[in-house]
Amino acid sequence: MGGLEVKDVLLDTHIWIWLAAERYENFSGKVIKVLREGRNRWISAISMWELSKLVERGRITLSIPLLDWIKRSLIECEISVIHLEPEICVESCSLEGFHQDPVDQLIVATSRVLSIPLITADRRIQAFKGASVIW
């Protein structure tokens, strides 16, 4: 990102969860700086589904009902949701050389279509040359 001013950032699902849980120790220094500088924060709508599946499968346990957690975290973390528009869905199937996880495909496609850098610790996404990643 260098000296480039970033107005908006897209949070990968795990970044949203860590931010809401105040797990700042999981973030790189660069990510902490970007998050503190008052950027417009976004998540893909698919992240809400992914979190719901993690809760359903018992991989994450929340202290309050899932829907309440989602709504509260969006407000408290000042996060807006990007819906799955046709352009994003089509782009997600055009990521040559990217792995086959459909959730990751949709998140990367959201970043690409809207030209918003993605904050992620996911090394597979970081390694994809077609993604603009902050980490």
User: What pLDDT was estimated at residue 5?
Assistant: 59
pLDDT at residue 6 above 80?
Answer: no
For each of the domains in the chain, give its residue range(s) and CATH number, in order of start: 8-134 (3.40.50.1010)
Among candidates 34, 39, 15, which has minimal Cα distance to 26?
15
* Rounded Cα–Cα distance for residues 122 and 2 (Å): 20
Sign of torsion over alpha carbons 14, 82, 84, 117: negative
Q: What is the pLDDT of residues 60-81, one digit of tens each?
A: 999 999 999 999 999 999 999 9
Give me the phi and psi of 115, to 5 degrees please. 55, 45
CA distance 124 to 120: 10
The token pair at 103 is 């959730």
Q: Flag whether pLDDT at 4 surpasses 80.
A: no
pLDDT tier for residue 2 given thresholds of 50, 70 and 90: very low
**Residues, the chain:** 135
Counting beta carbons within 10 angstroms of the beta carbon of residue 17, is it exposed (0 to 12), middle (13 to 18) or buried (19 or more)? Answer: buried
- Mind listing the pLDDT tens digit for each residue in 85-133? 999 999 999 999 999 999 999 999 999 999 999 999 999 999 999 999 9
| pTM, 2 dp | 0.93
Task: Give me 66's structure tokens.
Answer: 């899932």
> Distance between CA atoms of 105 and 92, rounded to whole angstroms?
5
What was the pLDDT predicted at 1?
Answer: 42
pLDDT of res. 38: 75
- For the stretch 7-64, pLDDT in tens is 899 999 999 999 999 999 999 999 999 999 878 999 999 999 999 999 999 999 999 9
